[in-house]
């Protein structure tokens, strides 16, 4: 897999953006942008070659191409994509991206954010939208075969029900899978179990509320779906090595 490195410590500066359609008159194109990175969200099938590496293009794929890279596109008829030409800071911690990724279930969100950037009333808003998209690209994971849509739906279901009782059979039923099938896909996609993910997300939210809000400890416990104070205390000690009261005093 071909990767690129870019610093996201500062927002990008978008030089040009829009919706482009290529392949109407020629089957291929080659070019480079000496000073600008290229961010593309594709809605067609074709091929991209960068540095001798060939990348299939499919609807929902997204690419981030470094400045001054020679690119070769091969089209199969009219080919539409969202494009952004931008400058990135050359200092700060480098983030590593696959040059080409399948955005999977994130496509609708990325598409909406990028279209907002294209129509933004100010350069600062456009830069902010693209900056958020670039950070999202650092978190995309290669999909397990057949797994990403179901796991994405399971994650969304869990987030929406954290304050309520949640069981693995509940989650499996909500996404139309058997308990065992969801368990296998979830571990392959996230590297953890459904139960462990639910516990971690509840305690992450609890730690935030303990440190940043004035909610009482019982109210925090109830708001994250662990209303039993003894169980909440044990869970915090197991996860953070500290009691809820100690976490409350541990403000940054």
Predicted confidence (pLDDT) at residue 129 exceeds the cutoff of 60: yes
Predicted confidence (pLDDT) at residue 83 exceeds the cutoff of 90: yes
* Distance (Å, whole) CA 176 – CA 161: 17
Per-residue pLDDT, 157: 85
Rounded to a whole number of angstroms, the distance between the first and last alpha carbons of the chain is 39
Question: For residue 73, what are the CA distances in angstroms to 20, 52, 187?
Answer: 13, 12, 36
For the chain, percent of residues with pLDDT exceeding 90: 67
Predicted confidence (pLDDT) at residue 174 exceeds the cutoff of 90: no
Q: Are 51 and 69 in contact (CB under 8 A)?
A: yes
Per-residue pLDDT, 131: 95
pTM: 0.62
Q: Are 108 and 26 in contact (CB under 8 A)?
A: no
Q: Are 244 and 236 in contact (CB under 8 A)?
A: yes
* Distance (Å, whole) CA 155 – CA 157: 5
């Amino acid at each position: 897999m071909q990767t690129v490195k870019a610093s996201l410590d500062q927002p990008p500066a978008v030089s040009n953006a829009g919706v482009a359609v290529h392949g109407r008159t020629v089957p291929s194109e080659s070019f480079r942008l000496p000073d600008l990175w290229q961010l593309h969200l594709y809605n067609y099938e074709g091929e991209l070659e960068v540095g001798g590496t060939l990348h299939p293009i499919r609807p929902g794929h997204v690419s981030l191409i470094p400045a001054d890279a020679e690119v070769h596109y091969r089209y199969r008829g009219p080919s539409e994509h969202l494009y952004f030409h931008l400058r990135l800071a050359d200092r700060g911690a480098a983030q590593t991206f696959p040059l080409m990724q399948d955005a999977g279930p994130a496509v609708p969100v990325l598409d909406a954010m990028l279209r907002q950037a294209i129509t933004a009333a100010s350069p600062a808003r456009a830069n902010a939208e693209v900056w958020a998209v670039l950070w999202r690209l650092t978190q995309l994971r290669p999909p397990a075969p057949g797994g990403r849509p179901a796991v994405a739906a399971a994650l969304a279901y869990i987030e929406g029900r954290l304050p309520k009782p949640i069981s693995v059979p509940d989650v499996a039923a909500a996404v139309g899978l058997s308990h065992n099938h969801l368990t296998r896909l979830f571990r392959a996609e996230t590297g953890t179990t459904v139960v462990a993910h639910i516990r971690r997300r509840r305690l992450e939210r609890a730690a935030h509320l303990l440190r940043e809000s004035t909610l009482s400890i019982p109210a925090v416990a109830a708001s994250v779906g662990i209303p039993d104070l003894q169980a909440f205390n044990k869970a915090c000690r197991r996860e953070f090595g500290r009691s809820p009261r100690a976490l409350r005093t541990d403000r940054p």
